[in-house]
Amino acid sequence: MFFRWDWLGPQLTAPIVPTLGPVHPEALSVGIFEDTLRAAYTGDFLPYDKDQRWAGEKDEKVLREDVVHQPEHTLIPTLTRRGRGTVKVFAYGLLDSVNNEAAELAAKLASVHDVAGARVVRPLSPETAHPRGTRIQLKDFTTGPCPTPDGPVRSITAWPTAVQTTFAPFAETMAADGLAFLHTQMQAGQCGPVLATAIEGRIVGAIGPMEVRADAIGRPQLMPQYFAVLPEARGQGIGRILWQAAMHWGQAHGAAYQLLQTEVDGPSDRLCRSEGLASLGFSHITHV
């Protein structure tokens, strides 16, 4: 075993695992970190890796030989060749000095591997004052019912054909939110259902795909979705109705929970906070 849990465990201020992203606190263990090291050699997806929905092979891998594992801090670098390439160093430690050490390592490894990007990913605790970056939020489906929302939300395929045809231009308009990519997956039949709402015969908001998969300890997890509402349709509660419909779908299909990442103080962040989700901490990325 490479990692010592008595060193790493106390450094985990937020449940973020390299190459996997946020995980449920109950799934956070030395085993899941060891799994990422083994996957670095094989190049295969871990069975519970959410990214396996979108690609034939895992692009990001841990640079095992460059891991720094000490009692005071742990630095875990990863490499992706996507685009012009990026090295990320996940910096676990309670002292602020861990940022500088991680930045130095990221810059060095970006040069060694001839990639353009070098970043430091710093998990931060839920009690962090004035946080930046993304908030990790937990929706627990076991604590109470998620009722059907009062609004016009249906699966894309349940809308009349004339309404369905408006999804393509909607997706192109919201390409920055991932909807164009989602549309290609839908056309290829490679994802679960997508929920949408329409006004006057035109789709103005969507969330999906809706899929439930087992996590590292076998618990059913509602997987992350793409989520967008046209700018001109915002301020009418459409986003909340879509989100509530997604939560209803997840609970109805046996999910135990969902993890969400929201930009701190952004619209989705404010929505999730108002819906009572639990904050598990933050992830702050620094470009080196």
pLDDT tens digits, 38-61 = 999 888 899 999 988 887 778 899
Q: Where are the beta strands (DSSP E) in the chain?
A: 16-17, 21-22, 61-62, 68-69, 73-80, 86-93, 117-124, 134-140, 153-155, 195-199, 202-208, 212-214, 220-222, 226-229, 257-263, 278-287
| Side-chain half-sphere CA neighbours of 242 within 13 A | 29
Task: State the total domains in the chain.
Answer: 2
Among 104, 130, 156, the domain-final residue is 130
Given 130, 152, 181, which residue is the final one in a domain? 130
Q: What is the pTM of this model?
A: 0.92
Please state whether beta strands 73-80 and 68-69 pair in parallel, antiparallel, or not at all (unpaired). Answer: antiparallel
* 16 and 112 belong to one structural domain: yes
Q: Using one digit for the tens of pLDDT, what is the confidence trace for 180-227?
A: 999 999 998 888 999 999 999 999 999 999 999 999 999 999 999 999
Strand partners, 287: 119
For residues 66 and 171, membership in a common domain is answered with no
Are 215 and 177 in the same domain?
Answer: yes
Asked if residues 134 and 264 have their Cβ atoms less than 8 Å apart, the reply is: yes
Residues 113 and 151 in one domain: no
Residue pointed to by tokens 């990639």: 115
**pLDDT bracket for residue 70 (50, 70, 90):** very high
Q: What SS3 state is found at 281?
A: strand
Quick check: is 92 in a domain?
A: yes
The answer to the question of residue 88 being in a domain is yes
Residue 225 structural domain: 143-255
Grade residue 6 by pLDDT with cuts at 50, 70 and 90. Answer: very high
Query: Hey, what are 173's tokens?
Result: 């308009």
Residue at 93 is within a domain = yes
Q: Are 76 and 97 in contact (CB under 8 A)?
A: no
Mean pLDDT of 72-97: 95
**Is residue 120 domain-shared with residue 148, that is, in the same domain?**
no
Kindly state whether residues 96 and 198 are assigned to the same domain.
no
- Domain assignment present for 268: no
Q: In terms of domains, do 217 and 113 share one? A: no
User: Which residues have C-beta within 8 Å of that of residue 13, sequence separation ≥ 6?
Assistant: 92, 94, 123, 124, 125, 281
**Alpha-carbon dihedral of residues 259, 265, 267, 268, nearest 10 degrees?**
0
Q: Round the average pLDDT of the chain to a whole number and report it.
A: 94
- CATH number assigned to the domain comprising residue 197: 3.40.630.30
